[in-house]
């Protein structure tokens, strides 16, 4: 089994990589920092004899980096059984004042937590479809329930609030999950989202409440569960839950899809297929 984990050099992603290595999985690890990527890969190789690990660097604040990563994996890998969309930034970003934006001028949390994974996943769809049955796991958050997306101010230019920006980016992940699952019905690719655990000890969390193992086990449960249908589900604590009601509105998902496509094409050009 080949598994690509984004944000694999810290926190949940790193712990998940170790757990999957012990299951004999071939790992494709993404990270932003080349040194941390090497350290993570070396650490896993030292811990699990014979494990196969490849590393892929990309800054998810740059859609150009994301696109290069997606094309590299799509064109070089024979198959991709599981894509774990885990990389992200939290409500609190040390050193980031005001309304931070990505390299492409997009509100940072929306860009990294959602839009980067939207484009990565869509670009990898041909490989995922060839590898069927396969699955996409989107690491979301219970915070997705806190706010609806305001499409009149998607980039939060008016009265920016970091907490709201984070919550909206996680809701966008869930909306994308439902939307993509419906699109992929009958194609052998299952797409689900989950809240792995509350305030795990990662660099995004200042006051942890849960251990990393709780989050890892929640993700493993989903990865290892039977591939039944297209998915489109949102899980909390191992059980399917109703997401923010806005995620269930086809019109809202249509608006998010259209805006996501517009932003990707604005940055990367009309020739890029973004779904």
Choice among 114, 118, 166, 234 that is catalytic:
166
Q: Report the alpha-carbon distance of residue 84 to residue 269 in Å, rounded.
A: 26
Half-sphere exposure (CA, 13 Å, Cβ side) for 119? 30
CB burial string 110-139: b at 16+ within 10 A, e below: bbbbbbbbbbbbbbbbebbeebeebbbbbb
Residue 176: enclosing H or E segment and its boundaries?
helix 162-183
Walk me through the domains of the chain, giving residue ranges and CATH numbers: 2-268 (3.40.50.720)
The per-residue pLDDT for range 108-122, each reduced to its tens digit, is: 999 999 999 999 999
Q: Report the alpha-carbon distance of residue 185 to residue 119 in Å, rounded.
A: 19
Question: Tokens 């779904």 belong to which residue?
Answer: 275
114 catalytic per annotation: no
Query: Lowest mean pLDDT: which of 33-42, 224-233, 250-259?
Result: 224-233
Query: Lowest mean pLDDT: which of 73-87, 150-164, 228-242, 252-266?
Result: 228-242
Q: Tell me, what's the pLDDT at 200?
A: 46
Share the mean pLDDT of the chain: 93
> Stretch 133-137: mean pLDDT, rounded?
97
State residue 10 phi and psi, 5-degree precision.
-155, 155
Q: How confident is the model at residue 203 (pLDDT cuts 50, 70, 90)?
A: low
pLDDT at 207 > cutoff 50: no
> Stretch 55-71: mean pLDDT, rounded?
98
Q: Tell me, what's the pLDDT at 236?
A: 93
pLDDT at 275 > cutoff 70: no
Record the pTM: 0.93
Cβ count near 98 (within 10 Å): 7
The per-residue pLDDT for range 73-102, each reduced to its tens digit, is: 999 999 999 999 999 999 988 877 889 999
């Amino acid at each position: 089994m080949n598994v690509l984990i984004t944000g694999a050099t810290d926190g949940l992603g790193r712990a998940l990589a170790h757990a999957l290595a012990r299951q004999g999985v071939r790992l494709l690890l993404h990270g932003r920092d080349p040194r941390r990527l090497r350290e993570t890969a070396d650490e896993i190789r030292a811990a699990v004899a014979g494990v196969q690990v490849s590393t892929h660097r990309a800054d998810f604040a740059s859609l150009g980096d994301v696109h290069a990563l997606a094309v590299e994996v799509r064109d070089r890998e024979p198959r991709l059984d599981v894509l774990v969309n885990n990389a992200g930034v939290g409500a609190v970003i040390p050193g980031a004042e005001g309304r931070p934006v990505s390299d492409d001028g997009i509100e940072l949390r929306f860009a990294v937590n959602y839009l980067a994974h939207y484009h990565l996943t869509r670009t990898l769809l041909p490989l995922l479809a060839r590898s069927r049955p396969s699955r996409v796991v989107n690491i979301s958050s219970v915070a997705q329930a806190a706010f609806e997306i305001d499409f009149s101010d998607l980039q939060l230019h008016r009265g920016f609030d970091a907490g709201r920006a984070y919550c909206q980016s996680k809701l966008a992940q869930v909306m994308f999950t439902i939307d993509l699952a419906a699109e992929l019905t009958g194609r052998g690719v299952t797409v689900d989202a989950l809240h792995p655990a509350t305030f795990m000890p990662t660099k995004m969390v200042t006051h942890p409440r849960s251990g990393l193992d709780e989050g890892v086990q929640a993700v493993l449960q989903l990865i290892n569960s039977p591939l039944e249908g297209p998915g489109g589900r949102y899980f909390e604590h191992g059980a399917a839950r109703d997401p923010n009601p806005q995620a269930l509105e086809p019109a809202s998902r249509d608006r998010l899809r259209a805006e996501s496509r517009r932003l990707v094409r604005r940055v990367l050009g009309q020739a890029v297929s973004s779904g």
